[in-house]
Amino acid sequence: MRRLFPVTDETAAQDRTAALADREWSLAELAAAYAYPEPGSEPGEPRPWLRANMVSTLDGAAQHDGRSQPISCAADMRIFGTLRALADVVVVGAETVRQEAYRPARARAEFAAARAAAGQGPAPAIAVVTASLDLDLSLPLFTSPLVPTLILTGAAAAPDRVAAAGKAGARVVVAGDGAGIDPARAVRALAGLGHTRLLTEGGPRLLGQFIAAGVLDEMCLTLSPMLTAGEAQRVAGGPSVAVPRRFALVSLLEEAGFLFGRYRRS
């Protein structure tokens, strides 16, 4: 793993020492590289920070054969795991849960001390966004998470499905007046539960709504050195915004030709 941006003395040293450039970063180094911003000093509740983590091919595909794994790599998965370990909650669309057979986040010994020091539980909660509540409630995501899985839905969600989800152990959080959620309200609702370090892992239809609502603070994007053509989704979908939202590059890492960018709302 190499840091390409910002350029520091260490970057220059990496250029001189190829062995150093090829070194695998420790999880602690990755955690430092992706630390959430410190909560502001303003009085009142800390402001939630919503970060997305997505992977895209060179030609903009967010999946291949319906999954993101074929366009990912080992370093991407290490960053994926690190970002989870830094988060209070992982927000994900129901289609990604269905297609990627989502499992609960696990507690990892390497992050235990840092999570405890940050006042976090052993693993982030997974928050599934769904209007239909068409979810397999017999999956470990609902039956055996370390922390109860949240279901974010609207007030008009089917009462029998809401009851079934609650019975299965999920915590249902209403964040919209209709069947679906309002993205900004969902962020507020999670903050109200004490979750201020938010991570969304998409999918594209959900991420597009966070972007359109103007509540996405940070985009972590892995650019995979692959081309797939075809009809795959981009990392964000839905109606386009009126004016492109400008983000600033915070850091750029590289391993095996994969680029790991971190961009912050400017």
Ligand X SMILES: NC(=O)c1ccc[n+]([C@@H]2O[C@H](COP(=O)([O-])OP(=O)(O)OC[C@H]3O[C@@H](n4cnc5c(N)ncnc54)[C@H](OP(=O)(O)O)[C@@H]3O)[C@@H](O)[C@H]2O)c1
Identify which of residues 34 and 120 has a Cβ nearer to ligand X in the complex: 34
Per CB under 6 A, the list member of 23, 47, 67, 103 interacting with ligand X is 67
Three-state SS string over the chain comes to CEEEECCCHHHHHHHHCHHHHCCCCCHHHHHHHCCCCCCCCCCCCCCCEEEEEEEEECCCCCCECCECHHHCCHHHHHHHHHHHHHCCEEEEEHHHHHHCCCCCCCCCHHHHHHHHHCCCCCCCEEEEECCCCCCCCCCHHHHCCCCCCEEEECCCCCHHHHHHHHHCCCEEEECCCCCCCCHHHHHHHHHHCCCCEEEECCCHHHHHHHHHCCCCCEEEEEEECCCCCCCCCCCCCCCCCCCCCCEEEEEEEEECCEEEEEEEEC
Identify which of residues 212 and 250 has a Cβ nearer to ligand X in the complex: 212
Per CB under 6 A, the list member of 95, 108, 146, 158 interacting with ligand X is 95
261 binds ligand X (CB under 6 A): no
Going residue by residue from 110 to 129, which x/- string records binding to ligand X, judged by CB under 6 A? -------------------x
Identify which of residues 85 and 157 has a Cβ nearer to ligand X in the complex: 157
Contact positions with ligand X (CB under 6 A) in 8-37 = none
Q: What is the closest distance, in whole angstroms, from the C-beta atom of residue 207 to ligand X in the complex?
A: 7
107 binds ligand X (CB under 6 A): no
Q: What is the closest distance, in whole angstroms, from the C-beta atom of residue 127 to ligand X in the complex?
A: 11
Give residues in contact with ligand X (CB under 6 A).
54-55, 62-63, 66-68, 93-96, 99-100, 129-132, 134, 180-181, 201-206, 209, 233, 235, 237
